Amino acid sequence: MGGQACVFYGAAEFSRDTDFAILAEVANLARLRRALDDLRAEPIAVPPFELKYLRRGHVLHFRCQHPDALRMRVDVMSRMRGVDCFAKLWRRRTTLSLPDKTRCDLLPLPGLVQAKKTQRDKDWPMIRRLVEAHYFAHHTKPNRSQLRFWLTELRTAQLLVKVAHSHPGLTESLAARRPMLACALAGKTAELEQSLLAEELAVRAEDKDYWLPLRQELEALRHAL
């Protein structure tokens, strides 16, 4: 659900870790423990490896000591701000088969884009590349779902204008959800760029507010150790 998923979706990113979204249930946590034991993975930060922290939206952090994955970091979470619950994500997942027949279940692209809407600087160029890559892969014969995704998530002004002009009816229907689409329909690229920046800043602030109580909880746990 992180940098590795971005690579699979065609928006290459150098990633030092592997992020997983998992179902936060007792039996599934036991399976995760066995997998981490196989990797000789050790917790490297708070919170503790407990179900209640996953359910509250915390991230569990591990470092692998197995020779085949030496020093690889693994981050695990179950809840993400603005992202659907795990059951919906699982139903909509993208499944890829690697050359060695290994199966990879990826966070669905809309979910990955939402998960990337953080306060971190590095995530916003990645969102742009993810949606652009999807656009260029499917723009010749897009379906309605893809068009809705581009109109609500594209962060490239020129492409937003292009899609809006090609599908004005759908664009107008989505303008209440994303007001900047009115600028896209009017071809006002400069105003659209300003709206995209304002949208990014607003979402960054939302993410900061979301994490504040969770970070306070982590600080309390650190001091209690």
Domain edges within the chain: 3-115, 123-209
Side chain identity, residue 127:
I
**What is the C-alpha to C-alpha distance for residues 22 and 24, in angstroms, rounded to an integer?**
6
Side chain identity, residue 184:
A
10 Å Cβ neighbour count for 28? 15
Cα separations (Å) of 222 from 45, 75, 79, 215, 225? 9, 18, 22, 10, 5
For position 14, what pLDDT does the model report? 67
Tens of pLDDT along the chain (225 residues)? 887 888 888 876 666 789 999 999 999 999 999 999 999 999 998 999 999 999 999 999 999 999 999 999 999 999 999 999 999 999 999 999 989 999 999 999 999 999 999 999 999 999 999 999 999 999 999 999 999 999 999 999 999 999 999 999 999 999 999 999 999 999 999 999 999 999 999 999 999 999 999 999 999 998 887
> In sequence order, which residues have a C-beta less than 8 Å from that of residue 59 and are 6 or more positions away?
75, 76, 77
Pick the closest to residue 112 from 223, 213, 13 (CA basis). 13
For position 10, what pLDDT does the model report? 80
For position 224, what pLDDT does the model report? 85
| Backbone torsions φ then ψ of 112, nearest 5 degrees | -65, -40
Token look-up 């306070």 returns: 216
**What is the C-alpha to C-alpha distance for residues 59 and 107, in angstroms, rounded to an integer?**
16
For position 40, what pLDDT does the model report? 97
10 Å Cβ neighbour count for 205? 11
The packing angle between helices 144-153 and 123-138, to 10°, is 150
For position 174, what pLDDT does the model report? 98
Cα separations (Å) of 189 from 75, 164, 176, 194? 39, 12, 19, 9
Please, are residues 93 and 106 in contact by the beta-carbon 8 Å criterion? yes
**What is the C-alpha to C-alpha distance for residues 64 and 43, in angstroms, rounded to an integer?**
9
